[in-house]
Amino acid sequence: MAASPDLKDRTGLKNILRPEEGWLVFILLSVVCLVTVWTVEDAKWVREMPSLSGMALLALLTGYVLSRVRVPAPLLHPVGALIGLLVIVWQTANAASGSSLAERLADAAHRVNNFIIVVQGGGISVDGLPFAVQVLFFTWIVGYLSAWFLYRHHNAWLAVVPPGVALLVNLTYLPGRFGGHFLIWVLSALLLVMLMHSVELRQRWRRQGVAEHELEGSTAVAPVLAMAGGLLALSFWSPVMEQSLPITVFWENVTAPWRSVEREFDRLFASVSSGRVAPLHTFGRSMPFRGAVNFGDQNPLAGRLGIARDVVMNVQAEEPGYWRAESYDTYSGQGWTTSERVTKALPQDPVPGATENFQERQPFTHTVE
């Protein structure tokens, strides 16, 4: 049986210019992604931060157009990656120093190469350009994949979760700011999920032969109510959870791997301005200059957790001792780092009687909190 004219049109240019989902869906998706981008831009993490709004819209359009092309995904993603790479290189060159495009590209390549050397050598980087490149990369990949999953697979959750995670991570380091941005994001995400669920229902019922007039009054409020209820419950219980000692201890244990990532981030992106004071509770191989620190006094449970103001640790011991957390012996303009440790065997008896005294050591017990 030959395809109907309308079906042929849906597989051609009209499928791009007149999407079945409607342009309101694309507008809501753009708002969801742009709100996240605006919070990153307004935070001004580094001096070299380029404009991200235009790049985010281009990523959304690229993902949308490629998702409409009826070609296997493995053949389309390299095209999207190539377009993204060209945009990232262009934006990086604009953020670099130089009077001409060639000079800016050379400066960007040199600074990125120095950053790679720092990554491999365990040093500290205070150059803001590598951080800007990282933000450009995530801006493109989040925008492209959000549009791809929304229009290729009609999955609204995979479309809103990546920008939502990026927004929450950004706001975590900007306490007390951008509350209005978060409200706009939540409302746009709710409407987007509702509209896409409605589109899915209409397509399913149309395939099952439901009459068009019966589809007019169809709504899809269930996923929206579920999402809104979850957000309201989280906002209601968050103050109570913050004051709960078991939940706080559980959260500290769960986020322990992330804190190791934060230490590496501080080493590699020491130029990023901090929106909050950094808790000094761990000691890594590097100690970059990051501005103000605190010893836990801003935690509402500081006293109960033993980390009240200026108290680093509590020690109970049978004998006095010296407890060293870490030593930093290499100084640079970016901070302090530790050298590689080398284990050496002691001589047999460098000082008469030293070995005997060493063997006369006695164990003792100490408790550190």
pLDDT (mean) for 183-202: 81
Is residue 8 pLDDT above 50, yes or no?
no
| Band of residue 172 on the pLDDT scale cut at 50, 70, 90 | confident
Is residue 272 pLDDT above 50, yes or no?
yes
Angle at 331 between CA 325 and CA 332, to 5 degrees: 135
Is residue 259 pLDDT above 70, yes or no?
no
Is residue 283 pLDDT above 80, yes or no?
no
Min mean pLDDT across 162-176, 181-195, 247-261 is at 247-261
pLDDT (mean) for 202-221: 57
Angle at 94 between CA 89 and CA 95, to 5 degrees: 100
Residue 208 contacts by C-beta under 8 Å, 6 or more apart in sequence?
Answer: none
The phi and psi torsions of 154 (rounded to 5 degrees) equal 55, 40
- Would you state the pLDDT for residue 331? 77
| Tokens standing for residue 178 | 């951008």
Which residues on adjacent β-strands are paired with residue 288?
335
| Band of residue 3 on the pLDDT scale cut at 50, 70, 90 | very low
In terms of Cα–Cα distance, which of 114, 130, 125, 131 is closest to 267? 125
Min mean pLDDT across 62-66, 181-185, 194-198, 320-324 is at 320-324
Q: What is the pLDDT of residues 29-76, one digit of tens each?
A: 999 999 999 998 888 888 888 889 999 999 999 999 999 888 888 999
H or E element that contains 354: helix 354-359
What one-character-per-residue DSSP string does 106-174 give? Answer: HHHHHHHHHHHHHHHHT-----SHHHHHHHHHHHHHHHHHHHHHHHHS--HHHHHHHHHHHHHHHHHTS
| Tokens standing for residue 98 | 């130089």
In terms of Cα–Cα distance, which of 132, 97, 99 is closest to 115? 132
Q: What is the pLDDT of residues 79-94, one digit of tens each?
A: 999 999 999 999 999 9
Structure-token match 């004051």, residue found:
243
CA pair distance 286, 129, nearest whole angstrom = 20
The phi and psi torsions of 288 (rounded to 5 degrees) equal -70, 160
- Would you state the pLDDT for residue 59? 95
Longest dimension (CA), the chain: 102
CA pair distance 264, 171, nearest whole angstrom = 20
pLDDT (mean) for 203-221: 56
| Tokens standing for residue 51 | 């404009």
| Tokens standing for residue 148 | 């791809």
CA pair distance 267, 282, nearest whole angstrom = 13
- Would you state the pLDDT for residue 308? 47
| Tokens standing for residue 209 | 């032969």
Min mean pLDDT across 58-72, 122-136, 163-177, 296-310 is at 296-310
- Would you state the pLDDT for residue 141? 95
| Band of residue 281 on the pLDDT scale cut at 50, 70, 90 | very low
pLDDT (mean) for 112-126: 85
| Band of residue 1 on the pLDDT scale cut at 50, 70, 90 | very low
Is residue 301 pLDDT above 70, yes or no?
no
User: How many Å from the N-terminal Cα to the C-terminal Cα in the chain?
Assistant: 78
Distances (CA, A) of 64 to 16, 57, 137: 8, 10, 18
| Band of residue 6 on the pLDDT scale cut at 50, 70, 90 | very low
H or E element that contains 332: strand 330-332
Q: Answer for the pair 25, 189: CB distance below 8 angstroms, yes or no.
A: no
pLDDT (mean) for 9-18: 61
* Average predicted confidence (pLDDT) for the chain: 75
Identity at 190, one-letter amino acid code: L
- Would you state the pLDDT for residue 245? 59
CA pair distance 193, 55, nearest whole angstrom = 24
| Tokens standing for residue 3 | 């395809």
Q: What percent of the chain has pLDDT over 90?
A: 21
| Band of residue 323 on the pLDDT scale cut at 50, 70, 90 | confident
